[in-house]
Amino acid sequence: MKYCSACGNAVSLRTPEGDHLPRHICDVCGTIHYENPRLIVGCVPEYEGKILLCKRAIEPRRGFWTLPAGFMENGESLQMAAARESMEEALAKVKIEEPVAIVNVLHAHQVHVIFRARLLDPNIGVGPESLEVGLFDESEIPWPEIAFRSVEFALRRYLDDRREGREKLYFHDLTPPPSG
């Protein structure tokens, strides 16, 4: 951020009185511009024991498989966001249930919330952000081609719980992966 979105003048990075962190503050109108973590919301849609996955048509991680998920929008609930993403990415009608995983992605300033879900109709299709969609038995899940660590975490906890006949909520913190 270099300019004030309210008045168009330059901002500088300083700590407001009474605050404890530097913020972008407008040098002219004084507006303080806060930046906060964003929510990514998705779900694990299940149909007759199979899991819905989407092959990404967009970066990052184009060509890798993921659960339907994306940025939560203003005016919707977490559950509405998760259902909308399933519809957009896989033309999938789902019933959102309890959350399985909440992942703090510290370096990306994101919180990922993944719900359990029932796929209500097996007629799914390829949305504009997907190259391919499919229903996978546990043994068919392409683990090395899963797009994101948060998705792998949620999917593994989901399958563990299903095997054990329980439904827990799992938290996880992610920091940058080791390089090389």
Site residues for a second copy per CB under 8 A: 1-11, 18, 20-21, 24, 33-39, 71-79, 88, 98-99, 102, 104, 106-107, 109, 111, 128, 169, 171, 173
Nearest to 84 by CA among 74, 75, 94: 94
Q: Are 29 and 55 in contact (CB under 8 A)?
A: no
> Other C-beta atoms within 10 Å of 25: how many?
18
Least Å distance, CB 35 to a second copy, is 6
Min. distance of Cβ 23 from a second copy in angstroms?
A: 10
Phi, psi of 88 (to 5 degrees): -65, -40
Nearer to a second copy, 10 or 120 (CB): 10
Q: How far is it, in rounded angstroms, from Cα 126 to Cα 78?
A: 23
- As measured in angstroms, the least distance from the Cβ of 52 to a second copy is 21
State how beta strands 38-47 and 11-14 pair. unpaired
Q: Which is nearer to a second copy, 49 or 71 (CB)?
A: 71
- Specify the residue, 38 or 62, whose C-beta has the smaller distance to a second copy: 38
- Positive or negative torsion for Cα 70, 76, 78, 84: negative
Q: Is 89 helix (H, G, I), strand (E, B) or coil?
A: helix
Q: Which is nearer to a second copy, 9 or 12 (CB)?
A: 9
Least distance to a second copy, CB of residue 21, Å: 6
Q: Toward a second copy, which CB reaches closer, 98 or 140?
A: 98
Cβ count near 171 (within 10 Å): 9
> Minimal distance in Å, beta carbon 15 to a second copy?
13
